[in-house]
Amino acid sequence: MKEKNSKLKIQQTSFKKLDFLFMGLLFFCIGFVLNIAVIRPNPTSASVCLRQSGVYTHINPLLLCDSPEAKGVSQYTSLQKKIGDLIKNDVSANLVQTVSVYFRNLNKGEWVGINENDQYSPASLLKVPIMISYYKLAESDPSILNKIDVYDGSFNENANETFVSPYDIKPGAYKVDDLIKAMIVNSDNNALTILSNNIDERSVTEIFTDLGLPVEGKTIDFMSAKSYSQFFRILYNSTYLDQAFSEKALALLSGPDFPQGLRAGVPDSVTIAQKFGERTVKNQDGTISWRELHNCGIIYYPEKPYLLCVMTKGTDYQNLATVIQGISKLTYDNAANL
């Protein structure tokens, strides 16, 4: 009986050893599979990350990571083709000469573009980095926003604008914070001029340098739809400004500015944080050579927010606005599948 019990114990011990061996082999296999499927980077989908410049001892601040274009993903390929077909029709109808589009799914990081690297003049789109520069300074010195600047009425930079706001600033004294609001919410060029004249140029240059963007090119066309979109991405991700100022900036950009473009292609119930820019280039005799109209922003589609930047060149602003509106509506109508 003792001999049988002894054999039984030996068998039980052997089974336990086999169980441990089997479990160990199982976990090893699982770990090996996970290592292949998850941990190892895919060389075809490597991201390029930008980090904030500066001399730091213990940190290396991350600004944003760019992913490869979503090639081969059916729903994005479909969207790209639909937008491309719409642009071809608009060009054939003489509504526009050239169009660039950059779309990015802000939850997944997947993106597609059409001529997204073509260069344009950003015009009033540059009001966004001016705002970001002031808010960056205010993080360490909040009193900057309470500084008083005076508009004496000796100039009017809004006089030649096509898409004008009825709420331009009047001669008087203004806090910097209020001038920023006027510059963004009402696209006030007089407020922009005052703010630009009263900030160290290096503070503005720094954000372009951090994002690897040209401050200005040899020609007026030096910004693309894809590169400009980085300003909205760092605000949405709160990777350049702190959370409070990122939220404040996007709240201002969610105002009523420019209802004719992206806003017109989206239901009123959906929030949009956006900025537009217009530029007219004339010949020496005063005739119009071409016009540019751009509109970029974040469309807060329910649970699927996305970034859309459209840059256009043509001769008629109303036609260009119609082109932007059509691309916005088409994108929104397809957003549910992305």
Task: Point out the least confidently predicted range of 23-27, 101-105, 269-273, 282-286.
Answer: 23-27
- Confidence grade of residue 308 (pLDDT, cut at 50, 70, 90): very high
Strand partners, 104: 111, 307
User: Does residue 305 lie within any of the structural domains?
Assistant: yes
Supply the pLDDT for residue 226. Answer: 97
- Residues 98-120 have pLDDT tens digits of 999 999 999 999 999 999 999 99
Supply the pLDDT for residue 23. Answer: 44
Supply the pLDDT for residue 6. Answer: 44
* % of the chain at pLDDT higher than 90: 73
- Residues 327-337 have pLDDT tens digits of 999 999 999 99
- Residues 160-173 have pLDDT tens digits of 889 988 889 999 99
Mean pLDDT for 195-224 is: 88
Supply the pLDDT for residue 49. Answer: 84
Supply the pLDDT for residue 160. Answer: 87
- Confidence grade of residue 29 (pLDDT, cut at 50, 70, 90): very low
Mean pLDDT for 292-309 is: 97
Supply the pLDDT for residue 203. Answer: 93
Mean pLDDT for 2-29 is: 43
User: Does residue 30 lie within any of the structural domains?
Assistant: no
Amino acid at 270: V
pLDDT for residue 222 is more than 80: yes
- Confidence grade of residue 157 (pLDDT, cut at 50, 70, 90): very high
User: Does residue 136 lie within any of the structural domains?
Assistant: yes
User: Does residue 51 lie within any of the structural domains?
Assistant: no
Task: Point out the least confidently predicted range of 197-206, 212-221, 226-235.
Answer: 212-221
Mean pLDDT for 183-187 is: 96
Strand partners, 112: 103
Asked if residues 231 and 128 have their Cβ atoms less than 8 Å apart, the reply is yes
Task: Point out the least confidently predicted range of 4-8, 43-47, 103-107.
Answer: 4-8
pLDDT for residue 127 is more than 90: yes
pLDDT for residue 9 is more than 60: no
Supply the pLDDT for residue 47. Answer: 66
pLDDT for residue 25 is more than 70: no
Mean pLDDT for 31-59 is: 52
pLDDT for residue 324 is more than 60: yes
pLDDT for residue 27 is more than 90: no
Alpha-carbon distances of 210 from 30, 176, 188, 285, 296, rounded to whole Å? 41, 24, 27, 40, 20
Q: If 0-12 CB within 10 Å is exposed, 13-18 middle and 19+ buried, where does residue 290 land? A: middle
pLDDT for residue 21 is more than 70: no
User: Does residue 31 lie within any of the structural domains?
Assistant: no
User: Does residue 327 lie within any of the structural domains?
Assistant: yes
Domain range for 279 = 62-337
* % of the chain at pLDDT higher than 70: 84
User: Does residue 38 lie within any of the structural domains?
Assistant: no
User: Does residue 21 lie within any of the structural domains?
Assistant: no
Q: Return the CATH number at 123.
A: 3.40.710.10
Supply the pLDDT for residue 8. Answer: 40
- Confidence grade of residue 218 (pLDDT, cut at 50, 70, 90): low
Residues 6+ apart with CB under 8 A from 196: 130, 204
Counting the structural domains of the chain, the total is: 1
Supply the pLDDT for residue 217. Answer: 62
pTM value is 0.84
